[in-house]
Structure formats: structure tokens, C-alpha cells
Amino acid sequence: MRSSLLPWRRPWVAPLAAVAAAVALAAQAATPAPVTIRADSAVLDEGNLTSRYIGNVEIEQGNARISGDEMRIEHDAEGAPRRLIVTGAPARFMQSEPPPVTGRSQRIEVDLAGNEIRLLGQAEVVRNGDTLRGERIRYQRDSQRILADGEAGGGRVEITITPERTDP
């Protein structure tokens, strides 16, 4: 498996940080925008400290949206979310604040304790025409590092950077 650390200052960190914040949602009590979750059904299991949303799941906060087929939230003893897992074919996120950022993968995981977001399985992030693709894309919020991996057995990471336009 090949791994690439993307250290340049291209604006990849901001969109993934926004996604991490959007997915973390309820963990940030001071966040001004309300969180809305829509799904075909929900199972709230206080005994196991989990909540599960099934079928056409959408979660929104402010200008950020995440969607998928299913979402599971693991809570701590106080009820605050500590881990979110969104799966889909694919699971998607979108931040509409200019410039718009979109992404998709088969699974999106947010580890609030570890302060990391992971896009797993055919992961892709697009911003301003720039594209980052890999089997896995991880964003470590504390260090503001992005790590992208190709598939096992020789898969590669692909990065496409679109030149900025200069108007005549």
C-alpha cells in the first residue's frame, strides 16, 4: 500500500476541516447553526450509547451536508457524540460556502476523541477543480495533515491540480 503525505499549502485542509466540523455536529455545543438529521428510520439505543439512522440519511449544519445510506453515532456516557460512521454507495459530503467542496467515499468516519476524519473506499475530494483521490483519505485535525493511501497491492493516489485562470 502506498501512502502519501500532502504537505503543501494547497487549500485541502480547510475543506476537510469543515467536513470534520459538519460531521462532528453535536459535539460542538457552542456551534450556532442547528443540526438537522433526516432518515427513513432511526433507532436510539441509550443502553448501548448509540443512535442509528437508516435509509436516505441526511445530516445538515449551516452550509455543510453529509448524506449516505446509513449513519451510526457512538456516544460517550454524557451523551455527546464521540464517533460517527456514515456509509453509502457512496456516502457524500458537501460544503456550499465558496468555494464549494464535495467529497465521497464508501464510508466516512469521524473520530472525535482522536480528532480525525477518514474517507474510506474509493475516496475523493474536489475543490475549485482540484481533485484528490485514493482508497483512503485521512485528515488529522490537530496537526492539519492529510494522508492519502492507494489500494493494497500497488494502488496509487491521484491528485489533479487545476491551474488558476488569469483573465486577459
Listed in sequence order, the residues at least 6 apart from 145 whose beta carbon sits closer than 8 Å to its beta carbon are 5, 6, 7, 139
- The per-residue pLDDT for 146 is 81
- Per-residue model confidence (pLDDT) at position 129: 82
Residue 1 has pLDDT above 50, yes or no: no
Asked if residue 13 has pLDDT above 80, the reply is no
Longest C-alpha distance within the chain, in Å? 64
- Cell numbers at residue 133, please? 483521490
As given in the structure block, the three cell numbers for residue 23 are 460531521
What is the model's pLDDT at position 14? 41
Domain ranges of the chain: 18-141
Neighbours of 144 (CB within 10 A): 12
Chain position carrying cell 475543506 = 15
Q: Mean pLDDT over residues 107-123, rounded?
A: 88
Is CATH 2.60.450.10 what the domain over 18-141 is classified as, yes or no?
Answer: yes
Per residue in 40-95, pLDDT (tens digit) is: 999 999 889 999 999 999 988 888 888 999 999 998 888 888 888 999 999 998 87
**Quick one: what percent of the chain has pLDDT higher than 70?**
80
Q: What is the mean pLDDT of the chain?
A: 79
Q: Which three cell numbers, joined as nine digits, stand for 39?
A: 432518515
Q: Is the model's pLDDT at 130 over the cut of 90?
A: no
Q: What is the pLDDT of residues 148-163, one digit of tens each?
A: 999 877 789 998 988 8
Which cell numbers in the block locate residue 64? 455543510
Q: State the residue for C-alpha cell 494547497.
A: 10
Calculate what percentage of the chain has a pLDDT beyond 90. 33
- Contact (Cβ atoms closer than 8 angstroms) between residue 19 and residue 60: no
